Amino acid sequence: MVKMSRLLKKRTAYIIIGISIACLILGPIMGLLFDKMPIHDKTGQIIQEDSSFRITNAFAQPVTLSKDQKLIVEISEFYENTTVTIKIIAKSLYDREYSLNSTLTGSIPGLWFVYSEFGWGASPTGSTDDATALTLPNDGNYFYIEFMGHRYQDSLISWPGDYYIIVYGTNSGPASVLDVYFDISIKVDGPGETLNNLLVIVGALILVAYAALALISILKANYLR
């Protein structure tokens, strides 16, 4: 009869193999769940018309980017009579303009970002462009913006730091209608990929180590005494 070590007992085997399979399954799931961390997601976000000349009334979302972390903003505007402009600026600049209660929202210089216009059969390089500000619906109704601090042509360069996404707009309807609507979703890169790699590697290592140890213990228990 083949002698068995404690390592090969049914319960121990189930626990070890169970942990490794759990890691292998959880890796991709966690990777997918934490791939992007939503910061702000709202359909029908409202700002006032005076936001275009008063920064204190503009939509402003602070974001902190670490090294190689990317900001993704999806903005769309399909509402009647409204026009909105999106910019990404440094926190220091926003703070200064805010404290001064600046009336020059429109003339604040935005930082460079990259945006994509998706289309079937279109080359990704051909459907990607860069800008410092986008006005909807004049430039388009929907934009997928990627930002990391700086860019070289259509590729992003990581400049970690604190930033503000600001959106201001106007309503060309009746004078009494002051509301400006738009849809916005803001996300940043999460730890999904790191978690995925870590869990998959740990799971695979446990499985390989267990198989090797089990083989050695069988040989040791039966022959190599």
- Residues forming the site for other proteins (CB under 8 A): 70, 72, 114-116, 118-122, 124-125, 127-128, 144-146, 148, 154-156, 215, 218-219, 222-225
Which of residues 103 and 158 has its CB atom nearest to other proteins in the complex? 158
Q: Which helix (H) or strand (E) holds 133?
A: strand 133-136
Least Å from the CB of residue 116 to other proteins: 5
Q: Which is nearer to other proteins, 132 or 155 (CB)?
A: 155
| Minimum separation from the CB atom of position 152 to other proteins (A) | 11
Least Å distance between CB 220 and other proteins? 11
Q: How far is the CB of 118 from other proteins (least distance, A)?
A: 4
How far apart are CB 218 and other proteins at their closest, in Å?
Answer: 8
The minimum distance between CB 175 and other proteins, in angstroms, equals: 37
Beta bridge partners of 213: none
Instruction: Report the residue number, 120 or 176, with the smaller CB distance to other proteins.
Output: 120
Closer to other proteins by CB, 71 or 166: give it.
Answer: 71
Positive or negative, the CA dihedral 126, 129, 134, 138 is negative
Q: Whose CA is closest to 203, among 10, 14, 17, 8? A: 17
Q: Which residues, 6+ apart, have CB-to-CB distance to 179 below 8 Å?
A: 46, 47, 48, 49, 171
Which residue lies nearer to other proteins by CB, 11 or 120? 120
CA angle 84, 89, 94 (to 5 degrees): 95
* 165 strand-pairing partners: 61, 88
What's 109's DSSP letter? P
By beta-carbon proximity to other proteins, the closer residue of 99 and 125 is: 125
Task: Map residue 119 onto helix, strand or coil.
Answer: coil
96 vs 220, beta carbon nearer other proteins: 220
- Quick one: 70 exposed, middle or buried, by C-beta within 10 A (0-12, 13-18, 19+)? middle
Estimate the crossing angle of helix 10-33 against helix 192-222, to 10 degrees: 160
Q: Token pair for residue 61? A: 């979302």
Task: In angstroms, give the least distance from the CB of 189 to other proteins.
Answer: 9
DSSP class of residue 106 equals G
